[in-house]
Structures are given as structure tokens and as C-alpha cells.
Structure 1
Amino acid sequence: MTPPRVLLVTGPGGAGTTTVAAGTALAEARAGRTVLLLGESVGTLSGVDAIRPDAAQWFRDGVQGLQRRAGTELLHDDELTELPGSAGLALLHALAGAHRSGRWQTLVVDLPPVTDAIRLLALPELLARYLRRLLPERRPASLLLAQLAGLPYDEAGRWIGTLTALHALLGADGVAVRLVTEPTAQAPAAVRRARAGLALHGLALETLIANRVLPAGSADPWLRDAAAAQRAVLDVLPGPPRELPHLGGAPGEAELAVLAGSGALDAVPADRLRRPAPVLSDRTAGTAGTADAGGAPLVWRLPLPGASRDELDLVRRGDELFVTAGPFRRALELPEVLRRCTVTGAALEESGELAVRFAPDSR
């Protein structure tokens, strides 16, 4: 069975991501595909199934399920208040369930604003890493830590499995982010940071959508100047972006259908998507894999398009490299060949790659 396409729609707050998510779902339905739209603010659209995850119910079910497996007395519904972040986790849980079901050919997800969205998409990998570090294997110390944390060891293992599967889903072929922006003066910096954050976490960027673009050539001087200011921003955005017109207000289904039929929301073919991933190469020979017989330095290249040198940082901790790009941070496990090497330098190249240089440790 062919896995569904997954389009994760996000952008700066107020950029119109919910409109773009709805229009994307309609465009996929018009193309003859079965579509599910997930999000906190989704409405009813012809030919599109929709799910609005209930974060409070998801949290209650999770806590009470844990209590049942632990054999403890259940808390009543009115005793349980969802924790901050539950809405995002409930959305990911709903996405995973829809993906497993195989009922739909395309899943469109209306995510929170982009900084929160990238952190949410990075959360499964981060939580799984913490649990593995806390409970590396079934031994007395790990069992004691699990009990002190109030988490049965088997339950922790189940969570690790769930989080690992979710992280694999988000990094799978056919899963990509559709980034939405409004062409304002703040857009270039916001898009730059978002592209770097997505690449840092290995998330494929499907396309950049410029929303609420004003028509050129208006007889009204104010609109003409506003359109010219937008065009100046659009000219410096990467891509170039696909453009959607300003609708003048909150769109109904008729307006969304116009957007869906414009072609700007058509999905990029899955075989054209490229997931950013580190590449190991010999700096001098340019060949992948290992250093030459003379011990030539190795370079680990991390694609970070849009990253700024003054917002980059990296720290080596054992077998991991912690990379910070603006507001985003990720722990990357080093390839086996680099674990006995030392970091000798790093540079952000013009290509947008962070090149980290390693040399064999002579000790």
C-alpha cells in the first residue's frame, strides 16, 4: 500500500496558514485524491474529510490509560486538566493514526505558527532521546529512575517506540512542509529562520507560498504603493514563491475553491522532494565515507539554507554534535567514523552548508 502524502502547513502567525491549508486540501480533492484535513481550526469543506483533535480528551485518555496499566485508581475527568503543549501532541497523535489507517491519499495538517511548529515536529526525536538517556537499558538503576519518575519501565519503552515511529513518519518520503508568508518587511528574516530550522531538523520544505499578494497596476495610489512594497519583498524571497491573491477578507468555500483552482496550491511531486541530511566527505578528494591513507581531514556537511553566521553555534558532547540555528537546537549523533575524531573547525559556506571539519585523534 502506498503511504499517503503529508503536507504540513505553517508560517508566521497571521500569515493565513489556515486558509492555505484549507485551499491545499481542496486542491488535492479536485485532483481526485482522498483527503483528510487536520487542525484546531478546520471547518467543513466539500470532498474533504476533517478532524479537529480534542486535546483535553487525548490528555485524559492518556493519563487514565497509564493509570489502568499501572493498576492505580483512576482520576475522574473533572480532576484532569490538560498540560501546556497537549494540543500539539494531540495533533501529532491524530496524524499518526490517520497515516496508519491508510484511508486517505493525502493528509494536510494545519500547524501552529512556524517557530512553535518546528519545535513541535522536533519533539518526538527530543523526547525519545531524553527517555533513552534516562533509561538506557533494563538494569536496576534504570528501573529505580523510572519508578522515581512515576513511569513504569515497560511504559517508558512503549513511549520510546511511539515517539521513534512518529519521528520516522515526519522524516519519511512524501512528508514535507508548506511554508506560508505574507510579503511584509518582516517576511525575509522570518522565512530565512524557518528554512534554517526546518533543515536543521531534517524536514523537507515542499514550497514557499506568498499569501495576500495585492494586484499591480491599481489606480488607487495607496494600493499601488502597497503592491510595489510587496513586490520588493517577493523579489528577495527564495524560490521564487508561489503567489496567492489577497481575498479582501475571511474566505468562504467559494473563495477557497478559486485558490485551489489557481494551480498555486498544487502539490510538488513526491520524487522532487529532498530531505536535508548531513553528508560526510573528504575535504580534498570530495569522496564520501572515510579519510584517505594519509589521514586527510573529514568534513561533515549540514544543509542549513537561510542560516545566519551570527545565529549559529555548535558544541561537541561525546558522540553528539549540538547545533543551534537561531531559536532552534538539535543534537545530532555523529557517524561512527567521526566519533574518534576531534573537531578542528567549522564554517558556514556560501552554499548554505555548515561544514564541520574533523581530524583523526592521534591520542
Structure 2
Amino acid sequence: MTSEGPGARTLLVTGPGGDGVSTVAAATALAAARAGEPTLLLSHEPAGRLAALLGTAPPAWPEEPARPADGLSVARIDSGSRFRAGVLAAQRHVRPALDALGAGVLDDDELTELPGTAPLALLHALRTAHDAGRWALVVVDLPPVTDAIRALALPAQLRRYLRRLLPPERQTARALRPLVAQLLGVPLPTQSLYETADRWDAELAALQRLFEGPGAAVRLVLDPTERSAAQARAARAGLALHGLGVEALIANRLLPTGSAAQLLATLAGQQREQLVEFGAATGLATHHHVPHLGRPVRPADLAGLPLPPVGEPGDAGPAESVVEDRLAAEGLLVWRLPLPGAARDDLGLVRRGDELLVTTGPFRRALALPAALRRCTVAGAAFTDASELAVRFAPDPDRWPDRALTGIPRPG
């Protein structure tokens, strides 16, 4: 089976953010697999979330997808990995020029993802999945519907730009190009440029057919609140505008029409459990409870909402990192970086020159080392019970003065 075969289908699942799209996408993929249809679920959700839904932690694409059930494969759309791979490939391509200029090069572990990479990663994962030819159905857990429509519209928009910049009908016969260029007095685009544009157009058209062709459909998930309904109405028009058909509307989280006392009590208990766990993990244990009104908030309600008073600027600023001097006792300096809410398994740490590259979940930041630590080597790190990343530094004998350090400044 190939991506163009009659059995290769694409089912796109989207909806307003927070309405349960990932849950519905996972259930749809699992149901199709149990019905005997080889199915791949592509999702942008973190591995931990997918593990909770399906009982496995799938690897990041393009590694081999995980198989949590018979007939079902799951792979993550990892825009960060895709971005880093693209930058490194481009850097290798221009490496001679960079070397000639004496420019430094970037390494994988210091690259941080830029905005706008997620749609490209989504489209690349979808095309790769179809090219593999291993599944009869590819279920795609899309981002919130506004972002999803923009991503799916990208191939058609890029094809339009190519046609405007290099109109195919203006290609001149190769033998006449020098003459035409001389008559016009300006250089003409080379034939290779047109050939490249034609190749790009063909590849974009093939990608476009994966979600605009007869083998593709959209399932729209809706938690029927006023906010979500308004977004879904606008999304319905946007999908139609871009030629994307909606196969089904799935209403999620509907309350029972009969007695709901037990359900409400269960939901209230779950809310309070989540608040306790959230406070323990993040240090934000002082909660101000805004009640559920059972209807949309009206202007008259605003003055009565029990919100905390607005404090002075800086009253609740972020905790500062500090350098702890343990030279006398242990021969170490410890840089304490507060990371409330972080999970130990999601942390990453790399020393690169005078920077420390810290990763927590999908986020990465390059932190400049304080002057004292630049003359040290990393001796280890630990995530403490106080939600601090404690990085230990040992003085480098070749760069460290033969005296005790005093007056270590707090890094900015």
C-alpha cells in the first residue's frame, strides 16, 4: 500500500483548545485498530500524556512508532527535534562558507526552537507517515483549531507564492533566454530555478492531497460551552474556506440530563485534589476560588468575583538564582536555579562554553554563567525537594586563583 492507494486515509481531529481533542483522537485511533484497520496516531502531546491515554510512552518521530495495541501505532510530532535537525542540516550545507568567515557553529544541544516551526513539523510528520505506506488510516491529533487551519492551509499558500514569484508560463525556451535577456537588459531567472520551483510545487501538491483529497476528513470536537461554540462556528467557516470537509461533530463532556448530584460531587472533589497537587508541585498554594456560575459570566457578575487585590509591581516576582559558596567545606560552588513545577524526568542540562543550557519539558533556555562559575567545571547536578536545580561546580585549577573566593555576586 502506498500513500496514494485507495486504502490510505487521513482523519484530522481538532477543536477549540482544552476541549478534549487528544482524548477523542486517541479513542478514534484505538477503535479503528480494534476494527482491524492498521492505524497510526500522530500527536503533538507530550509522551507522559500519551502514556496516560494509551499505556505507553511513544518515541519522537521519526524513530520507530510505539505499538500500544494490536494494529495501533503511535508517534509524537516533535517540532523541537525537527527544528534542530533542519538547522544542523542547513549548517552542514554552508559549513565551508562559515569556516571561511571564521564563524562559530551551533550544536544540537544549544538550539532552542523558534516560533512557527510547529506547522512545518506537523506537515512533515504527516507526509512521512503516508510515505511509509504501513497504515490504512492516519489519525492526526491536531493543535487547537485556529492553528490547525493555518497549518493545513500552508501548502496551498506556498504554492501560490511560488506561482507569483516564478510564473510557469513565463519560462522562455532555453535557446532564447540569452537573446531575451539581452533585449530586456536584465538577467532572467535561470532554468534551474524554475525546475526547483516545479519540484517544490509538486511536493506541496502531494502534501495538499493528503488532507484535501477524497481520502481525508475532519472530526471537530466541541465541549459545548459558549466560548467553544463560538470558536467552533468560526472554525467551521475556516475549514470550508480551505476546502476541508467535516466528517462529524463530536460533542464532548456532556452532563447527564437526569440527577447530576453525584457527578457534581465527584467533579468538585477532583478539582480540589488537583489544586492540592498543583500547589505542592509549584508552590502556588494560596488559591482564590472563583465559583462556577452554571452559565456564561455577565457584566454584572464581574464586580462580585472573589479575586485577590492587585499588588505593587515586583511583589510576587520570580525567585532569583543564587550561587552558594561551599569552597571551604567541599571545594564546590553550587548554582541554585528555582524551577517550581518542573519534573525531574523532564529536566536536561548541558554546559556549553560560558553558558548553561537548561531544558524543562518542551522549554529550553541558555543561561549565561556568573563570572565565578566560568572558571569552573560542572561536577554534577540534582533536582532538590525545594524544586531547585542545584548545579555543582568545581574550580578549574588552571583558571582559578590560589586563594579562597569571597563576595560571590548574585547572578542577574
> Does 2:13 correspond to 1:9?
yes
By how many angstroms is 1:156 displaced? 4.5
Question: Within 2, Cα distance between the matches of 1:60 and 1:153?
Answer: 29
The equivalent residue for 2:125 is 94
The RMSD of aligned alpha carbons is 3.5
In structure 2, the residue corresponding to 1:218 is in which secondary structure? coil
The partner residue of 2:84 within 39, 57, 60 is 60
The one-letter code matched in structure 2 to 1:17 is V
Deviations 1:230-285 (A, max 9, x none): xxxxxxxxxxxxxxxxxxx99xxxxxxxxxxxxxxxxxxxxxxxxxxxxxxxxxxx
Alignment counterpart, residue 40 of structure 2, candidates 30, 36, 52: 36
Residues 222 and 71 of structure 1, relative CA distance in 2, 3 Å threshold: closer
CA contact (8 A) 2:10 2:217 kept: yes
Distance 1:110 1:219, change over 3 A: closer
Give distance in 1, aligned partners of 2:188 and 2:19.
Answer: 46
Q: Cα offset for 1:88? A: 2.0
Aligned length: 224
Offset of residue 50 of structure 1:
0.9
Secondary structure at the aligned position of 1:51 is classed as strand
Distance 1:123 1:18 in 2: 22
Aligned residue among 167, 180, 185 for 2:221: 180
Unaligned segments of structure 1, at least 5 residues: 227-248, 251-363
The CA distance in 1 between the partners of 2:28 and 2:201, in whole Å, is 33
Give 1:23's aligned residue: 27
Deviation at 1:186, TM superposition (A): 2.5
1:61 deviation in Å? Answer: 3.3
The DSSP-based 3-state class of the residue aligned with 2:130 is helix
Alignment partners' CA distance in 2, 1:155 and 1:57: 26
- Percentage of matched positions with identical amino acids: 55
Structure 2 residue runs without a partner (length 5+)? 57-67, 99-104, 173-185, 268-272, 275-412
Task: Give the letter aligned to residue 74 of structure 2.
Answer: A
1:98-109 equivalent positions in 2, closer than 5 A:
98-109=129-140
Once residues 153 and 68 of structure 1 are traced to their aligned partners in structure 2, the CA distance between those partners, rounded to angstroms, is 25
Q: Distance in 1 between matches of 2:44 and 2:263?
A: 36
Partners of 1:91 and 1:98 lie apart in 2 by 11
- The 5-angstrom pairing of residues 279-318 of structure 1 reads none
After TM superposition, the structure 1 = structure 2 runs for residues 178-327 of structure 1, keeping only pairs within 5 Å, are 178-218=219-259, 220=261, 223=264
Q: Distance in 2 between matches of 1:55 and 1:184?
A: 31
* Contact 2:10/2:210 (8 A) holds in 1: no
Partner of 1:123: 154
Partners of 1:81 and 1:154 in 2: CA distance: 33
In 2: Cα distance, 1:107 partner to 1:222 partner: 35
Query: Greater CA radius of gyration, 1 or 2?
Result: 2
Q: Which amino acid in the other structure matches residue 189 of structure 2?
A: L
Question: Is the Cα contact below 8 Å between 1:5 and 1:107 reproduced in 2?
Answer: yes
For the residue of structure 2 that corresponds to 1:36, the secondary structure is strand
Aligned 8 A contact 1:70 1:152 in 2: no
Tell me how far apart the structure 1 counterparts of residues 77 and 227 of structure 2 sit (CA, whole Å): 31
Tell me the alpha carbon deviations over residues 74-127 of structure 1, each in whole angstroms, 9 at most, x when there is no partner: 754346543312122111111111112210011110101001111111011011
Q: Classify 1:194/1:23 alpha carbon distance in 2 versus 1 (closer, same or farther; 3 Å).
A: same
Shift of 1:159: 3.1
Partner of 1:77: 107
Instruction: Answer whether contact 1:136 1:142 (CA < 8 A) is retained.
Output: no
Question: Tell me, what secondary structure is at the counterpart of 1:49?
Answer: strand
1:278 aligns with none
Give the Cα–Cα distance (whole angstroms) in 1 for the partners of residues 188 and 20 of structure 2.
46
Q: Measure the CA separation in 2 of the matches of 1:216 and 1:141.
A: 73
Shift of 1:160: 2.8
Cα gap change, 1:63 to 1:176, in 2 (>3 Å): same
Q: Assess, with a 3 A threshold, how the Cα gap between structure 1 residues 115 and 211 changes in structure 2: closer, same or farther.
A: same
State TM-score, norm by structure 2. 0.48
Q: CA deviation at 1:36?
A: 0.5
CA distance in 1, matches of 2:86, 2:36: 36
Question: Alignment partner of 1:186: what SS?
Answer: helix
Q: Find the residue that maps to 1:96 and give its secondary structure.
A: helix
Q: Are residue 46 (structure 1) and residue 92 (structure 2) matched?
A: no
| Cα pair 2:12 2:140 within 8 Å, conserved | yes
In the TM superposition, residue 72 of structure 1 has moved relative to its aligned partner by: 4.9
CA change 1:124–1:181 in 2 (3 A) is same
Q: In structure 1, what is the Cα distance between the partners aligned to 2:133 and 2:146? A: 30
**Cα distance in structure 1, aligned partners of 2:75 and 2:262:** 44
Q: Report if the CA contact (8 A) 2:38-2:135 is conserved.
A: yes
Distance 2:226 2:257 in 1: 18
Paired with 1:153 and 1:61, the residues of 2 have a C-alpha distance of 27
SS state at 2:27 partner: helix
Question: C-alpha separation between the residues in 2 aligned to 1:2 and 1:219?
Answer: 46
Tell whether the 8 Å contact from 2:84 to 2:113 is kept in structure 1 after alignment. Answer: yes
Cα 1:129–1:219 change in 2 (3 A) is closer
